Amino acid sequence: MRRAYKYRLFTNANQDRELGIMLETHRRLYNACLDQRKTAYEATKKSVKYTEQSAWFRAERHTNPYFARLNFSSAQATMRRLDKAFSNFFRRVKEKAAKVGYPRFKSRDRHDSIEFPSHGDGIRLTGNRLRVQHVGTIRVKLHTPVEGEIKTITLKREAGKWYVVASCDLGEVKVSPSTLPPVGIDVGLESFLTTSDGRHEPNPHYLKTELPELRVTGRAVVRKKKGGANRRKALRRLQKVHVRVKNLRKEHHYQVACRLILAYGLFAVEGLNIRGMLRNHRFSRAISDAGWAGFLSVLRHKAESAGASFVEVDPRGTSQECSGCGEEARKDLSVRQHNCLHCGLSVHRDINAARNILARGQGRTGPAEVNVDHGVKRPPRNRRVHAMA
Ligand SMILES: [Zn+2]
């Protein structure tokens, strides 16, 4: 099992500058390689290979002092990142996908991380000290100790602050299957989520609270002159608000997931087509605000390590079907109570949906085909079962 640990770095002014130069050099390397591929493609319709670019970079190091100071493996990781962007691009062209974007040049605010593909090569994390080649030893805010063996390390800059992400291999983790009761979960706008046994988790609406500040700081950025120091400062302020929202949301997800893990042993959730839902304009902000997709992935990971099962079901019709008798009870989104004319069941709309989701997750109703998947491959679209053996 892999697990990532993220820690804040306490850099001094000198380290800040060195890291900044390193990040900028990686960005230039990325853009130079992209330029090579673009030029070659436009001239001859031929693609430049990763190995060719790696060889070019090796030679270029003799004359370019900035390139010479990059850790070779991390530079390779940056070139591989570009290579991946291109293979994704060609795959999407082949699939005739609706929107295919040519890989883009990275601007300063779109390039924020440096990967070190093997721990100990150019970078080493020991306790609360991070040693980085050409930068020195940086103090780490180690809020939790690292477990397992560190495999890869990533340096990240977010809103002007530096972080280190250590991806660790925890080895084969034995988890015994959970004996806790099953639950169905309906995610919504009124409540963040509703469980089949009738618990509502309120929606925190972080973005809504921060929105005035986002608007004000966002407008300030636009007003400042492009390329000027004031614009950079305003941009930094805006990024800070975004990071705050992101962190609050993440923390909320973890707290809710932890509470659920202590109470249940099987989670049946909607296999949401979030992208499709986002297209519905009126609800789009509230939907992305709640960040369901992010929450479900946290819950899935937590379930995995707790020996709980995680089942995604086809959500179609879960709000219209009666969980008491299976008959259809049509209602539009404004109707918050489920009243069944057949069996007389009267229950909150979301609780009814959560009960249907649980029933489908346990294979009692709904589409018959079930795909068993251990959460490694990309799951199929509608119905997925992640059996945690
Ligand atoms: Zn009924």
Report the pLDDT value the prediction gives residue 285, as an integer from 0 to 100. Answer: 55
CB 92 within 8 A of CB 100: yes
- Output the six-digit token pair for 21: 């130069």
How many angstroms is it from 339 CA to the middle of ligand 1? 8
For tokens 């340096």, name the residue.
155
Helix runs in the chain, H state only: 13-44, 50-60, 65-68, 72-94, 206-223, 229-263, 274-278, 281-290, 292-306, 349-361
Q: Return all residues near 197 (Cβ < 8 A) that are at least 6 apart.
A: 183
How many angstroms is it from 338 CA to the middle of ligand 1? 9
Separation of alpha carbons 341 and 335, rounded Å: 15
How many angstroms is it from 314 CA to the middle of ligand 1? 20
CB 305 within 8 A of CB 377: no
Q: Which residues of 17-46 are buried (b: 16+ CB within 10 A; e: fewer)?
A: ebbeebbebbbbbbbbbbeebeeeeeeeee
How many angstroms is it from 229 CA to the middle of ligand 1? 64
How many angstroms is it from 341 CA to the middle of ligand 1? 7
Separation of alpha carbons 387 and 300, rounded Å: 11
How many angstroms is it from 355 CA to the middle of ligand 1? 12
How many angstroms is it from 347 CA to the middle of ligand 1? 10
How many angstroms is it from 354 CA to the middle of ligand 1? 15
61 φ, ψ (degrees, to nearest 5): -60, -25
Report the pLDDT value the prediction gives residue 389, as an integer from 0 to 100. Answer: 32
How many angstroms is it from 334 CA to the middle of ligand 1? 20
* SS (HEC) of 283-333: HHHHHHHHCHHHHHHHHHHHHHHHCCEEEEECCCCCCCECCCCCCECCCCC
The distance between the two most distant Cα atoms of the chain, rounded to a whole number of Å, is: 81
Separation of alpha carbons 256 and 274, rounded Å: 20
The residues whose Cβ lies within 5 A of ligand 1, an ion, are: 322, 324-325, 340, 342-343, 345
Q: Return all residues near 23 (Cβ < 8 A) that are at least 6 apart.
A: 111, 112, 113, 114, 155, 157
How many angstroms is it from 316 CA to the middle of ligand 1? 17
Taking 50 as the pLDDT cut, the residues of the chain under it are 275, 367-389
How many angstroms is it from 325 CA to the middle of ligand 1? 4
Report the pLDDT value the prediction gives residue 238, as an integer from 0 to 100. Answer: 87
Closest CA to 331 of 350, 354, 312: 350
How many angstroms is it from 197 CA to the middle of ligand 1? 17
Report the pLDDT value the prediction gives residue 367, as an integer from 0 to 100. Answer: 44
CA atoms within 13 A on the CB side of 336: 5
Contacts 24+ apart (CB under 8 A), 130-134: 130/9, 130/164, 132/19, 133/71, 134/18, 134/22, 134/69
* DSSP code of residue 144: S
How many angstroms is it from 346 CA to the middle of ligand 1? 9
Report the pLDDT value the prediction gives residue 377, as an integer from 0 to 100. Answer: 34
How many angstroms is it from 353 CA to the middle of ligand 1? 12
Closest CA to 153 of 131, 174, 184: 131
Q: Which residues of 206-228 are buried (b: 16+ CB within 10 A; e: fewer)?
A: bbeebbeeeeebbebbeeeeeee
For tokens 């940086």, name the residue.
138
| Helix orientation angle between 13-44 and 50-60, rounded to the nearest 10 degrees | 130
How many angstroms is it from 340 CA to the middle of ligand 1? 5
